[in-house]
Amino acid sequence: MKKAITFRAVLIAILLMPLNSWWVAYMEVITYTGHPTTMSLFFNVVFTLLFLILINYLLKRFAPRYMFTQGELMVIYTILALVPVWLDMICIRFS
Domain spans of the chain? 7-94
Q: How far apart are CA 37 and CA 60, in angstroms?
A: 32
CA separation (Å) from 7 to 13, 22, 42? 10, 24, 24
At residue 88, the pLDDT reads 65
At residue 71, the pLDDT reads 93
Mean pLDDT by 10 residues, the chain (95 residues): 83 90 78 67 86 96 94 93 73 61
- Look up the pTM and report it: 0.77
